[in-house]
């Protein structure tokens, strides 16, 4: 009896001691517990998503791919699946489940003896405590802290709040956080579309997503899913027949990356990403869950890339074949060569092929295990020519050019396989709405996979003659008219270093005294330099800055011919000011940004419209949008420049653009030694600019011009962009006067070839004679008598120029 009493006393003392130790441990840990109130302010890391103007998805930016859903938006069957799998007593226990703890302790005794991994008994509340406030260390202290925090947060938060946190935070594999993102990543559907079986599969994943991968561990995945279904039935969440049907359902997953796959937008998307990163930082961009509506038109973006690529490929093929992409080394297999030679991901129509046999008029190539013939017909004969010492040398058959083991690009067409090569020459295209500055298309090069350098925004190049409209705008703003005469003749200007600068026209000829209109339409360098000298280079410099073309421009006369450096985006924006009647235009690729709660935090269009959001229509007139943007240019000057640039298309250096059959204004640009070529053109609704040149500037070839290389890209793009649009004319500002004049002399005329010229109030054509700008710079040793002018015109010129002719 005494022994029993002593034993009971000893046991009681051990229990008291254990309790005291436990209490002391709990007390010591209490002061180190994290502040559970942080859950109140929890903002999950959400995915920021980019959308095109038509609502289609463009891109995602995220550290953790997650879609946050309030609990009421998560269907009951999905909640039931996770409760059945993870914590069936969630709504009954106080944060920890003592029954589950007891079962786990008994189970772990056997597992410890057998060396198996021990199991836990964490409730959903404990998992929330661990995931949000603690770490994943497998220690007794961390487990005790987890239990203590779980008890506290269960008293401070509702069960629904805790379940919402859990279902949106839990990692479920394949980069997906939360049930909403997992539904998209595994099944390609919204969480509200999940079947019982699919919901059960997602609920099987928290224990270890890789252990139940639907492809790599399919049998285990189905087994675990079916166990969850059984638990759902056992706990009354679903009926027996529903469970039986769910178990029979095959596990069909769509593990294709559900990220947006809108093609050919990489240059645009990356430009937007850089803007967002600068504006909001990495934390904002990758965790804030922004919804970003961009200005991109996906159809026209694809059109822009196709038009630019065609021009670059056509030019490059005309120069000749530069050799294979790669060659098989000794003993190397085609499979190994393919691994080290990655195709251009954004040009999927081009396939890598291995040349296995060469004959005089054909190649036999292997493509993904299949054998095809590539005929050296008319379409492929360009590849028999090679560039050599600046010249193009062509072979008569395939043997000197191709060898077995060559790796080449081919494209399947309706007429057979065509040989391809990534072009060395590069280019860019930007298209913008002048009324708003919205960039609807941007091509930054041939292929983003080939080069991520964006030539539309990052390449600073000389714009050449495409800068001239701004010199002429400065002149018109300072009192000149489109009929002002400027001498188109040789001139010699000291450069201040003992040398003489003698600018020449592109064709090497001179036209004598001519109107500003003729000078701009025919892109006369000599006239432009004389005009810039008369206006003052300080004024020209100011206009270059005012239009946003340059941050700094040196006040030297060569700069009037576009010798400074700018980007295509800046140039298109500057032309947009002219197209917009002189109002300031700020290019934008983002229409609106909304935060995770849907609140607009950025809006591009700052125009004011007080009557646009009235609650009801009471027969009031349509609201008018107040445009309070500053004028960069006199609206009348803007119209005069537009009219003169229409002449460039009608009669000047861009006559090929007339094929569009609508009112178009535009200007070509070609720099010295034909290193860069440009064309910028616009309608009242759209401004589009094109640049073509090598990344490291070099000669494009004699005779290569903006009209010959860049303008065709404009035509191909605008044919699609204008399809279905109404014809719109350029509308002059109120108060302008129109007089019919002779184009070259500027004198009033009703004769054949005369045209209506626009004049500001108080100005007009010369009735008898006008002075000629630049006569003092005439080079005395060179005749500037115009060639090919008919006698009636010569007589009018003699009268109007005081006998110069």
Q: Which residues are known catalytic residues?
A: 86, 465
Which residues make Cβ contacts (< 8 Å) with residue 9, sequence separation at least 6?
Answer: none
Rounded CA gap, 235 and 391, in Å?
Answer: 82
CA separation (Å) from 481 to 465, 516, 534, 635, 804?
20, 8, 14, 14, 21
Task: For residue 386, give the 3-state DSSP assignment.
Answer: strand
* Continuous segment of H or E residues that includes residue 443: strand 439-443
Burial code (b: 16+ CB inside 10 Å, e: under 16) for 250-284 equals: ebebeeeebebebebbbbbbbbbbeebeeebeeeb
Contacts of 478 (CB under 8 A, 6+ apart): 535, 539
Q: Under 8 Å CB-to-CB from 664, ≥6 apart: which residues?
A: 646, 649, 657, 658, 681, 682, 683, 718
Segment holding 198, helix H or strand E: helix 196-203
Beta strands in 317-359 (DSSP E): 326-327, 350-358
Q: Rounded to whole angstroms, how far apart are CA atoms 749 and 765?
A: 10
**Distance between CA atoms of 748 and 515, rounded to whole angstroms?**
13
Contact 177, 66 (CB under 8 A): yes
Q: How far apart are CA 158 and CA 176, in angstroms?
A: 26
DSSP 282-328: HHHHHHB--EEEE---HHHHHHHHHHHHHHHHHHHHHH-----SEEP
Rounded Cα distance, 464 and 469, in Å? 11
The torsion region of residue 369 among left (phi > 0), alpha (psi -120 to 50) and beta comes to left
Bridge partners for 388 per DSSP: 391
The number of beta carbons lying within 10 Å of the beta carbon of residue 668 is 30
State phi, psi for 191 to the nearest 5 degrees.
Answer: -60, -30
Phi-psi group of 201: left, alpha or beta (phi > 0 → left; psi -120 to 50 → alpha; rest → beta): alpha
| Neighbour-count burial of 466, counting CB atoms closer than 10 A to its CB (0-12 exposed, 13-18 middle, 19+ buried) | buried
Strands 65-66 and 176-177: parallel
d(CA 580, CA 582): 6
Q: β-strand 362-367 against 350-358: which pairing, if any?
A: antiparallel
Q: Determine how many CB atoms are found less than 10 A away from the CB of residue 553.
A: 21
Distance of CA 700 to the CA centre of its chain: 28
Burial of 289 (0-12, 13-18, 19+ CB in 10 A): buried
């Amino acid at each position: 009896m005494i022994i029993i009493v002593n034993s009971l006393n000893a046991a009681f003392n051990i229990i008291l001691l254990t309790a005291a130790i436990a209490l002391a441990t709990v007390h010591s840990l209490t002061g180190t517990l994290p502040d559970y109130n942080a859950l109140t302010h929890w903002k999950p890391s959400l995915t920021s998503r980019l959308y095109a103007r038509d609502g289609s998805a463009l891109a995602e930016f995220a550290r953790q791919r997650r879609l946050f859903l309030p609990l009421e938006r998560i269907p009951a069957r999905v909640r039931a699946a996770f409760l059945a799998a993870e914590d069936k007593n969630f709504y009954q226990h106080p944060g920890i489940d003592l029954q589950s703890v007891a079962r786990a302790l008994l189970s772990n005794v056997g597992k410890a003896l057998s060396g198996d991994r021990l199991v836990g008994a964490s409730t959903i509340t404990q998992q929330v405590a661990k995931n949000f406030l603690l770490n994943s260390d497998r220690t007794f202290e961390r487990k005790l802290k987890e239990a203590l925090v779980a008890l506290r947060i269960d008293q401070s938060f509702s069960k629904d709040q805790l379940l919402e946190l859990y279902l949106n935070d839990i990692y479920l594999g394949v980069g997906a956080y939360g049930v909403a993102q997992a539904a998209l990543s595994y099944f390609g559907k919204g969480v509200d579309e999940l079947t019982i079986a699919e919901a059960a599969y997602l609920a099987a994943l928290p224990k270890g997503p890789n252990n139940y991968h639907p492809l790599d561990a399919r049998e285990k995945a189905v087994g675990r899913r079916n166990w969850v279904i059984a638990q759902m039935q056992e706990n009354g969440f679903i009926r027996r027949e529903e469970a039986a049907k769910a178990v029979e359902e095959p596990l069909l997953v769509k593990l294709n990356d559900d990220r947006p796959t809108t093609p050919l937008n990489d240059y645009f998307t990356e430009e937007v990403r850089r803007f967002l990163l600068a504006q909001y930082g990495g934390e904002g961009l990758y965790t804030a869950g922004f919804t970003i509506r961009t200005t991109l038109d996906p159809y026209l973006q694809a059109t822009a890339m196709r038009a630019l690529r065609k021009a670059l490929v056509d030019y490059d093929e005309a120069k000749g074949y530069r050799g294979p992409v790669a060659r098989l080394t000794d003993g190397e297999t085609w499979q190994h060569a393919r691994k080290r030679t990655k195709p251009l991901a954004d040009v999927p129509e081009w396939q890598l092929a291995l040349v296995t046999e060469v004959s005089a008029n054909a190649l036999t190539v292997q493509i993904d295990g299949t054998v095809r013939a590539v005929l050296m017909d008319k379409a492929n004969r360009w590849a028999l020519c090679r560039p050599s010492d600046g010249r193009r040398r062509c072979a008569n058959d395939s043997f000197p050019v191709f060898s077995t083991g060559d790796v080449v690009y081919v494209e399947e067409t309706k007429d057979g396989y065509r040989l391809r090569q990534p072009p060395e020459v590069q280019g860019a295209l930007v298209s913008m709405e002048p009324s708003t500055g919205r960039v609807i298309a941007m091509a930054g090069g041939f292929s983003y996979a080939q080069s991520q350098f964006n030539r539309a925004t990052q390449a600073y190049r000389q714009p050449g003659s495409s800068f001239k409209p701004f010199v002429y705008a400065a002149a018109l703003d300072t009192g000149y008219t489109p009929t002002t005469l400027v001498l188109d003749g040789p001139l010699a200007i000291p450069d201040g270093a003992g040398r003489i600068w003698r600018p020449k026209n592109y064709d090497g000829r001179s036209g004598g005294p001519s109107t500003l209109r003729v000078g701009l339409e025919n892109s006369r360098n000599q006239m432009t330099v004389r005009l810039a000298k008369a206006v003052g280079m300080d004024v020209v410099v100011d206009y270059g800055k005012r239009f946003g073309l340059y941050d700094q421009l040196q006040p030297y006369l060569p700069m009037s011919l576009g010798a400074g450096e700018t980007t295509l985006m800046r140039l298109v924006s500057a032309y947009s000011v002219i197209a917009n009647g002189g109002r300031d235009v700020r290019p934008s690729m983002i229409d609106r940004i909304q935060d995770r709660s849907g609140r607009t935090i950025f809006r591009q269009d700052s125009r004011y419209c007080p009557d646009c959001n009235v609650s009801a229509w009471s027969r009031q007139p349509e609201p008018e949008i107040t445009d309070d943007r500053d004028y960069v240019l006199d609206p009348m000057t803007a119209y005069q420049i537009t009219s003169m640039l229409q002449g460039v298309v009608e009669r000047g250096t861009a006559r090929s653009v007339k094929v569009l059959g609508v009112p178009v204004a535009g200007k070509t640009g070609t720099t010295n030694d034909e290193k860069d070529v440009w064309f910028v053109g616009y309608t009242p609704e759209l401004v589009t600019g094109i640049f073509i040149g090598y990344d490291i500037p070099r000669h494009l070839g004699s005779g290569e011009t903006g009209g010959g290389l860049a303008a065709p890209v404009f035509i191909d793009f605008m044919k699609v962009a204008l399809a279905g649009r109404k014809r719109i004319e350029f509308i002059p500002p109120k108060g302008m006067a129109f007089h019919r004049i002779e184009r070259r002399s500027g004198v009033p005329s009703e004769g054949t070839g005369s045209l209506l010229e626009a004049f500001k109030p108080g100005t007009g054509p010369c009735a008898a004679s006008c002075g000629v700008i630049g006569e003092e710079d005439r080079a005395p040793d060179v005749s500037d008598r115009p060639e090919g002018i008919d006698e009636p015109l010569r007589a009018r010129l003699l009268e109007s120029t005081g006998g110069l002719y």
